[in-house]
Chain A
């Protein structure tokens, strides 16, 4: 394919999913907003006033970056996992792509790009929802954007691999429910890692989601538990590894071809 044709193919994959995401917005965008309002009500209005300041900022402002990331992580992952799984399992319309000359790298890029769009879209909506509760405060917009994009990228790739391997609808629900959500909660949404005993600090540093939340929080508040470059490096490394795995699996037709 020429570069122009390759671009058209990529654009088609992304456009198709964005049309779907927007068409079913009550399923794709609304839940994250409703859940976030509940979190902000509880941690802002109910508990926040009793806890007071945390690391020099209001508690509700402290938890905003983590709650945005919770939404971004689960949405980016689930979006791509669901689209890949349903297109290979229910309609079998993944064949539309597999019989075409579209290169495997573009299939991966297309699926992931739509996951990034959904991740960023949900992140922005949760951020806007947080403003009435925590006010508008961004320490470094570039850092916020870089972490938002890199997080969506890494989780979309993870979702793609999950979707390729899943053999049933349970297979795409297990990881978001039993792996990702606990990792996000234990990644320092509601607390600083410095408040933990040394053993649990070590455990937390083994959690890749911790670096996401910590780096993102730096972008908002200018405070972090680890160096920014380390957080960004971990995200980039995870993305690179997952990207290679996803590309190899699409290229080899693992669980997609006989």
Chain B
């Protein structure tokens, strides 16, 4: 997979933690979902009035446990699931009244593989372009370029059944992008793929979002959401229980988690000194502490240095979203 060269930009954006409306949005709404409800045949109420917005250029991670309603939301956005009520507009196009225009804006990478395994890789992508009215003469070079970007250039003529699992997922990304959608929807794109491929996909998605593509992604990997998204919505039992920036949602914890790496293996002694900071020894030379959101880390470091314990490095702890997620989806107030 091609290296993005945008990692630094994305990291800055994420660590900067500015509101997504300010950092990514240009004011134009990419997606407006209002009071979306879905009751399946048999009476299962999958969505109970879901509402959220995405400005153009946004990268939204839609999180939720299994059965929360994530895939139902995506199904409705892409026209594969009938909604019971509510409205959805994509770049100003209502999915009911202007469904053709709305669909042009959307590219979708589903959770399950859904291409004909007997077709050739290049044909799957080019045919998808055809369904959007793009002639083969335009689609072929575009498909070749996309497949090259996704490191599938040597598989163009192969039957898709011969691809590995990771290649099949990349093929679905190429297929979703062939008509150059403004909104890319990915339903758990990295589920079951190895770490290297996942990192490669992250780079590719960062490249896309840097180029202005709005991305909505569902994922079970909270680290993925923290790494990629500037906007997170958590859905649980068919309702949105949190919606905002990663930083904003993390602030619900009222504390910041910090990893302190010591110059020597004195984590136990440091933990005793910093008892007020709820310390947890990770390794003999590393401990995690929690700092009140309104406080600073200065006094803690000063206390360590006063006791002759040198501080080698201090870094913000990742993976905290998981903690909020667990609290919100288990019904505990965050």
Contacts and interface: CB of A to CB of B under 8 A. Distances in A.
Interface residues of A, number: 30
B115 A91 contact: yes
Nearest to B112: A92
Nearest to B72: A258
Contacts, number: 82
B279 to A, nearest CB: 50
A93 B135 CA distance: 20
A91 B116 contact: yes
Interface in A90-105: 91-93, 95-103
A9 B132 contact: yes
Contacts of B118: 20
A205 interface: no
Contacts of A12: 127, 130-131
B133 A253 contact: no
B78 interface: yes
Given A95-B80, A99-B78, A6 B133 contact: yes
Given A100-B103, A101-B99, A1 B108 contact: no
A87 interface: yes
Contacts of A178: none
A92 B114 contact: yes
A184 to B, nearest CB: 30
Contact of A257 (B81, B115, B135): B81
A258 B114 contact: no
Given A95-B110, A99-B103, A101-B104, A9 B82 contact: no
B82 A258 contact: yes
A101 B103 contact: yes
A5 interface: yes
Nearest to B114: A92
A93 B131 contact: no
Interface in B119-162: 119, 123, 127-128, 130-135
Nearest to A92: B114
Contacts of A97: 131
Interface in B22-45: 40
B117 interface: yes
Contacts of A100: 103, 128, 131-132
Contacts of B65: none
Interface string A4-27: 111011011101100110000000
Contacts of A91: 113-117
B86 interface: no
Contact of A99 (B40, B80, B123, B130): B80
A198 interface: no
Interface string B52-91: 0000000000000000000000010011111000000000
A163 B100 CA distance: 25
A5 B103 CA distance: 14
Contacts of A253: 82
Nearest to A101: B100
A6 B134 CA distance: 10
A93 B116 CA distance: 6
Interface string A156-192: 0000000000000000000000000000000000000
A1 B117 CA distance: 29
A96 B133 contact: no
Nearest to A16: B127
B177 interface: no
B106 interface: yes
A151 B114 CA distance: 33
A41 to B, nearest CB: 35
A7 to B, nearest CB: 8
A5 B179 CA distance: 12
A140 B80 CA distance: 48
12 contacts: A1-B100, A2-B133, A5-B132, A9-B130, A16-B119, A92-B112, A93-B115, A100-B128, A101-B101, A101-B104, A257-B79, A258-B81
Interface of B: 40, 75, 78-82, 99-101, 103-104, 106, 108, 110, 112-119, 123, 127-128, 130-135, 175
Interface of A: 1-2, 4-6, 8-9, 11-13, 15-16, 19-20, 87, 91-93, 95-103, 253, 257-258
Given A6-B133, A95-B80, 8 more contacts: A5-B132, A8-B135, A9-B131, A13-B130, A91-B115, A96-B175, A101-B131, A257-B81
